[in-house]
């Protein structure tokens, strides 16, 4: 039996490979690196079911000029990269029409509503339920003006019936005593729980996949051999070739480089993000926190406290600029005055970002035996179990439980 080859052993590819293998198929997972070393390594660990709204919404546009003019702001476009970003940016603009926004919100909400059904099942089957924490996430506001500026976000959640609870300053500090008294208001998202160690989740799933008979191959996919039926083999950079009956391309932000070899254009960009992992923070936290006006996130993880966020548009090849990680830590200390920063590690990862914020989960429009799972943006960890389930349905010809049209690759 020819194998299904999944390219990319990030959380998305591993979730898909596991789900296909579980269905008793012969699956090979190929990555140029060990599993989980891409964006899935250092994300903010949040199952962020309340964060599906399109980045092209009016509230973001309103803040954009201020953000872009501030070199320490939450969004930075490296000047040299601006010309390359134009086609993506025009599509981002097109995704801002009010009627389009409603469609995109609905497409994100459909996935988010399924997240716990799929994630709970995946964690239970693999014995990893302990990796999902019970606590939610706080969105913080210094005052009424900051809260009002984020009102659009809350209104969208209300429209889709996602749980949230508004709290005053004292009530928040009762729940999270390390927070500064400068916080006057917060919204608790009880369902935005987190994963204690997102990297370990990928490696544990990859191990379970192998225990079920799945094969992991280390190799850099550099090309495709094609026949009438579609792709027949993958060519690796070292000259090896990997026969394939079906191919799923889940190479994160690098997927468009592979799809281009099949003459399929995906308007995929990288939204580069940073984290600082603080091993001995000197405080303890139960919830993760986001301060929208300061644009950072803090998550308690198995290996200390993780501070992260930010969006840097600079392409796939530019070296990291770790000043961005340090700015986030400075901001985090405004919220958590007792936070100590002794021993830390810094990291940068590539969020695979589509201009309309909705991931691609579907068949190639050009090759009969190729599928794509990419563009999960800020929510790849959140959507992973659901993408694994939906993609396994598509590849095996089972009708998925949701309408897959909004996620097709040729929608742009
Ligand atoms: C700072 C930051 C914070 C984030 N926080 C969150 C969060 O809290 N919650 C959330 O849900 N999401 C979050 N995300 C987003 C999330 O991490 C990503 O959406 C997700 O990791 C994408 O997974 P992936 O498997 O598609 O890509 P990746 O994890 O990048 O995996 C892609 C894999 O493909 C491989 N590959 C690429 N090209 C080739 C090739 N030619 N041949 C072989 N292998 C190849 C790479 O080596 C890599 O292992 C965050 C991201 C960042 C950067």
Which protein residue has the closest C-alpha to ligand 1 atom 52?
43
Q: Give the rounded percent of residues in the chain with a pLDDT score beyond 70.
A: 100
Q: Does the pLDDT value for residue 131 go beyond 80?
A: yes
CA 194 vs CA 8, 190, 306: distances in Å: 23, 11, 12
Q: Which residues of 15-33 are buried (b: 16+ CB within 10 A; e: fewer)?
A: bbbbbbbbeebebbbbbbe
Q: Does the pLDDT value for residue 211 go beyond 60?
A: yes
* Residue 198 confidence (pLDDT): 98
| Measured distance between the N- and C-terminal CA atoms of the chain, rounded to whole angstroms | 35
Residue 146 domain flag: yes
* Residue 272 confidence (pLDDT): 98
253: CA distance to ligand 1 center in Å? 7
Q: Is the CB of 201 under 6 A from ligand 1?
A: no
For residue 223, what are the β-bridge partners?
235
Which protein residue has the closest C-alpha to ligand 1 atom 41?
221
- Give the residue-averaged pLDDT of 102-124: 97
Residue 326 domain flag: yes
For residue 351, what are the β-bridge partners?
271
Mutate to test the pocket of ligand 1, among 192, 375, 380 (most ligand atoms within 8 A of CB): 380
214: CA distance to ligand 1 center in Å? 21
Domain residues for 173? 65-81+132-193+268-353
CA dist 291 and 53 (Å) reads 17
Encode pLDDT of 146-192 as tens digits.
999 999 999 999 999 999 999 998 999 999 999 999 999 999 999 99
Angle subtended at Cα 98 by Cα 94 and Cα 100, rounded to the nearest 5 degrees: 55
Residue 233 domain flag: no
Q: Is the CB of 341 under 6 A from ligand 1?
A: no
Q: Is the CB of 252 under 6 A from ligand 1?
A: yes
Q: Is the CB of 32 under 6 A from ligand 1?
A: yes
Which protein residue has the closest C-alpha to ligand 1 atom 48?
38
Q: Is the CB of 46 under 6 A from ligand 1?
A: yes
Q: Is the CB of 206 under 6 A from ligand 1?
A: no
352: CA distance to ligand 1 center in Å? 7
> Within 10 Å of residue 377's Cβ, how many Cβ atoms?
26
Residue 237 domain flag: no
What are the backbone angles phi and psi of residue 330, rounded to the nearest 5°? -60, -45
399: CA distance to ligand 1 center in Å? 27
**If you average pLDDT over every residue of the chain, what do you get?**
96
Q: Is the CB of 218 under 6 A from ligand 1?
A: no
* Residue 337 confidence (pLDDT): 97
Mutate to test the pocket of ligand 1, among 119, 251, 313 (most ligand atoms within 8 A of CB): 251
For residue 349, what are the β-bridge partners?
273
Confidence of residue 59 (pLDDT cuts 50, 70, 90): confident
Q: Give the rounded percent of residues in the chain with a pLDDT score beyond 90.
A: 92
* Residue 169 confidence (pLDDT): 84
Residue 294 domain flag: yes
HSE toward the beta carbon, residue 325, CA cutoff 13 A: 22
Question: Is the whole-model pTM more than 0.95?
Answer: yes
Encode pLDDT of 322-354 as tens digits.
999 999 999 999 999 999 999 999 999 999 999
Tokens of 149: 């500026």
Number of domains in the chain: 1
Tokens of 408: 């097709």
Q: Is the CB of 381 under 6 A from ligand 1?
A: yes
Q: Is the CB of 295 under 6 A from ligand 1?
A: no
**Alpha helices in 262-406, H assignment, sequence order:** 323-335, 380-396
Residue 280 domain flag: yes
Q: Does the pLDDT value for residue 105 go beyond 80?
A: yes
Q: Which of 175, 186, 154, 137 is nearest to 53 (CA)?
A: 154
Q: Which CATH number covers residue 137?
A: 3.30.9.10
388: CA distance to ligand 1 center in Å? 14
Confidence of residue 356 (pLDDT cuts 50, 70, 90): very high
Which protein residue has the closest C-alpha to ligand 1 atom 20?
380
Mutate to test the pocket of ligand 1, among 252, 270, 312 (most ligand atoms within 8 A of CB): 252
Residue 21 domain flag: no
* Residue 1 confidence (pLDDT): 56
Minimum-distance ligand 1 atom for the alpha carbon of 219: 43
Tokens of 123: 């964690």
281: CA distance to ligand 1 center in Å? 26
Q: Is the CB of 359 under 6 A from ligand 1?
A: no
Encode pLDDT of 283-329 as tens digits.
999 999 999 989 999 999 999 999 999 999 999 999 999 999 999 99
Residue 311 domain flag: yes
Q: Is the CB of 40 under 6 A from ligand 1?
A: yes
Confidence of residue 64 (pLDDT cuts 50, 70, 90): confident
């Amino acid at each position: 039996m020819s194998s299904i080859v999944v390219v990319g052993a990030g959380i998305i590819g591993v979730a898909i490979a596991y789900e296909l293998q579980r269905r008793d198929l012969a699956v090979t997972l190929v990555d140029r690196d060990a599993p989980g070393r891409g964006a899935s390594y250092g994300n903010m660990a949040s199952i962020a079911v309340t964060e599906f709204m399109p980045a092209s919404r009016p509230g973001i546009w309103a803040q954009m000029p201020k953000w872009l003019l501030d070199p320490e702001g939450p969004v930075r476009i490296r000047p040299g990269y601006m010309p390359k970003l134009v086609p993506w940016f025009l599509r981002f603009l097109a995704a801002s029409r009010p009627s389009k926004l409603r469609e995109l919100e609905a497409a994100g909400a459909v996935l988010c509503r399924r997240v716990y059904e799929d994630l709970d099942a995946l964690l239970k089957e693999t014995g990893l339920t302990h990796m999902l924490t019970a606590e939610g996430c706080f969105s913080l506001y210094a005052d009424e003006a900051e809260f009002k500026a984020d009102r659009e976000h809350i209104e969208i959640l209300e429209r889709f019936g996602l749980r949230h609870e508004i709290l005053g300053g004292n009530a928040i500090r009762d729940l999270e005593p390390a927070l500064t008294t400068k916080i006057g208001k917060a919204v608790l998202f009880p369902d935005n729980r987190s994963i204690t160690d997102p990297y370990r989740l990928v490696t544990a799933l990859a191990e379970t996949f192998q225990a079920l008979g799945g094969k992991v191959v280390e190799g850099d996919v550099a090309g495709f051999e094609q026949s009438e039926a579609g792709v027949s083999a993958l060519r690796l950079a070292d000259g090896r070739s990997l026969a394939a009956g079906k191919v799923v391309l889940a190479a994160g932000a690098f997927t468009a480089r592979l799809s281009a070899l099949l003459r399929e254009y995906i308007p995929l960009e990288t939204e580069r993000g940073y984290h600082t992992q603080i091993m001995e923070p000197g405080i303890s936290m139960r919830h993760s926190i986001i301060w929208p006006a300061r644009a950072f996130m803090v998550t308690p993880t198995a290996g200390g406290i993780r501070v992260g966020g930010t969006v840097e548009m600079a392409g796939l090849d530019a070296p990291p600029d770790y000043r961005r990680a340090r700015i986030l830590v400075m901001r985090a200390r405004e919220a958590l005055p007792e936070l100590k920063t002794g021993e830390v590690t810094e990291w940068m990862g590539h969020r695979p970002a589509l201009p309309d914020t909705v991931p691609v989960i579907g068949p190639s429009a050009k090759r009969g035996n190729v599928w794509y799972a990419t563009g999960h943006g800020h929510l790849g960890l959140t959507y992973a179990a659901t993408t694994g389930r939906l993609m396994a349905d598509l590849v095996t010809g089972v009708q998925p439980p949701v309408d897959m049209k909004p996620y097709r690759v040729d929608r742009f």
